[in-house]
Chain A
Amino acid sequence: MDAILLQLNNISVVYSDVIQVLKGVSLAVEKNHIVSLLGSNGAGKTTTLKAISGLLKPENGRVTDGTILYQNSEIQNRTPETITRHGIIQVLEGRQPFKYLTIEENLRVGTATRWGKPYREDLEKVYHYFPALEKRRGGLAGYCSGGELQMLVMGRALMAHPELLLLDEPSLGLAPLVVREIFRIIRRINQEEGTTIILVEQNARMALQIAHYGYVMENGKIVMDGTADVLRENPDIREFYLGMSAAGTVKSYTDVKSYRRRKRWL
């Protein structure tokens, strides 16, 4: 059991005291693993991440039921300031750079959890992972391309020395080649830094390639889980997330209307 870094036990999340988004989500994340969270829009993936990182609070959301155990201590409904100091850093969806700060200043904000400590080496490390950033270190972040921004926000999170990195759709709106590059770096961070990663993705194919384990969410519940290999072979996943027919061939549009598979888990 000590290999488990994070455990969500049957958590429910309610926004503004009325809107229930998560209805009993349980999952476990092993140390040094990449765990992927798949699901369609509105399934509750981002909310799950925010419940872990404490960012529900400013959005008037609350974990009403269940527990979140991180290194065997309960962290549900703590403030983001406390949770980030435990080593959990979330990279927000849609990148969210500090537009009017330079690249290097953006990275320096990542040191907020350990204010006053030296950060030179960390800057070098981030530039080592993302050489593209070093070239533009003095430029304003607002003028960077989408790919550079994704690298910037991931680098910014790395500056905090995270134990657990929560990545929310890093591939959003990026060109396929850039996506491949980003995912390669995610895998390298996981292997070289030993950072545990929870990866929320729409791009199920890429996510299952680098993840060790996966969970599928729908309507605020976990509907399926398994190792990445098992999920990749599952007929439902192939049909609904990887765009293949159950037989394993690429789906033809002529078949789409005549027969629609039912999802087995519903």
Chain B
Amino acid sequence: MDFFMQLLIGGLSVGFLYGLSAMGFVMIFKSSSVLNFAHGELLAIGAYFFLALSTWANLSIPLSFLLALGGCFVLGLLVERVFLRPLIGEPLIFVIMLTVGLAAMFKGLILLIWGGNLYTYPDFLPKILEIRWGLIRIPPVYGTTLIIGTLFLTLFGLFFKFSSQGIYMRSVADNQRAALSLGVNVKRVFALSWAIAALVAGMSGMVLGIINGVNVHNLSAIGLKVFPVVILGGLDSIGGAIIGGIIIGLLETFTGGYLSPSLRDVVPYIVLVLILLIKPYGLFGLKEIERV
């Protein structure tokens, strides 16, 4: 039972992170139909920003966390402005291939600067966040993850539901032509969705870095997990991305705990295949509203 609880909490918080980073992926897909293959690298970049700020620049942890988030946001804007915008109106496959190129470029840059070694952050999380319950002891990082994840989720939920800019973003995802006819600045919406995607990916990268250590290969491999996550949840559903993330996270930790640690990276993809066979649009994929 104790072991179960430990796995449950670990799985939930890792799943939350997968879900959050998948949310960024889904946002890009929804607004511009682009599959972003550089997602894992965005994750890694976030983690390395945080590493550079907290260990090299020796800034305080909260400050470097916020600065790293800001850096990711700006990076997202720049990527959209420099690489994506010139390709607006070109066939989609060009844009998707471009993201593959971006992935290689980012990975190369990271390897150039930091090399392929495993780095760890200094241990900074306060012990109060450690959850103790009978014999179970859950490291503070998981509690922190749950708090940060819930916070981000609520913030983005409020942003998309109530703020004007959030509603414009949803309108572009819904019907781009109509949004254009009302004067919605579609380019700004694209830029913003890349920026937010980079921000949440970077955030997940930082926290995953705290859990597993920072290594470009590991982190970009985790980024690849957005594919089973979003296909499980439905490619165009933000809520689905979160739930898909949690399911994949739980599956992973439980297989790792009860079956075999070597299977944990395989099971999500097996589930992916099964889901595609049974529900090709994912659990929460868009059902076209049809009026009869």
A-to-B contact residues, CB < 8 Å? 53, 55, 58, 80-81, 83-85, 89-92, 96-101, 105-106, 108-113, 115-116, 140, 142-143, 145, 153, 156-157, 160
In the assembled complex, the CB of A15 is this many whole angstroms from the nearest CB of chain B, namely 14
Given A92-B177, A96-B175, A105:B183 Cβ within 8 A: no
Bound Cα distance from A167 to B165, whole angstroms:
26
Q: Per DSSP, are chain A's interface residues mostly helix, strand or loop, or mixed?
A: helix
Q: Which residues from chain A contact B171 at a C-beta distance below 8 Å?
A: 98, 101, 105-106, 109
Bound Cα distance from A109 to B175, whole angstroms:
11
Contact with A along B155-169 (1 / 0, CB 8 A): 000000000110110
B-to-A contact residues, CB < 8 Å? 89, 164-165, 167-168, 170-171, 174-175, 177-186, 289, 291
Q: Which residues from chain B contact A157 at a C-beta distance below 8 Å?
A: 182
Residue of B nearest to A87 (CB): B183
In the assembled complex, the CB of A146 is this many whole angstroms from the nearest CB of chain B, namely 8
Bound Cα distance from A109 to B178, whole angstroms:
10
In the assembled complex, the CB of B33 is this many whole angstroms from the nearest CB of chain A, namely 14
Q: Provide 6 A-B residue pairs closer than 8 Å at the C-beta atoms, listed in order of the A residue.
A: A80-B181, A91-B181, A97-B178, A100-B170, A115-B164, A140-B289
Bound Cα distance from A142 to B287, whole angstroms:
11
Contact of B182 among A58, A99, A101, A110 (CB under 8 A): A110
In the assembled complex, the CB of B167 is this many whole angstroms from the nearest CB of chain A, namely 5
Bound Cα distance from A113 to B164, whole angstroms:
11
Residue of A nearest to B166 (CB): A105
The reply to whether A113 and B182 form a contact with Cβ atoms under 8 Å apart is yes
Bound Cα distance from A113 to B188, whole angstroms:
13
Q: Which residues from chain A contact B178 at a C-beta distance below 8 Å?
A: 92, 96-98, 153
Q: Which residues from chain A contact B289 at a C-beta distance below 8 Å?
A: 99-100, 140, 142-143
The reply to whether A112 and B168 form a contact with Cβ atoms under 8 Å apart is yes
Which residue, of A91, A109, A157, has the highest number of chain B Cβ atoms within 10 A?
A109
The reply to whether A100 and B177 form a contact with Cβ atoms under 8 Å apart is no
The reply to whether A101 and B177 form a contact with Cβ atoms under 8 Å apart is no
Residue of B nearest to A82 (CB): B183
Q: Which residues from chain A contact B185 at a C-beta distance below 8 Å?
A: 81, 112
Q: Which residues from chain B contact A96 at a C-beta distance below 8 Å?
A: 175, 177-178, 181
Residue of B nearest to A140 (CB): B289
The reply to whether A101 and B174 form a contact with Cβ atoms under 8 Å apart is yes
The reply to whether A105 and B170 form a contact with Cβ atoms under 8 Å apart is yes
Bound Cα distance from A145 to B179, whole angstroms:
21
Q: Which residues from chain B contact A80 at a C-beta distance below 8 Å?
A: 180-181, 183
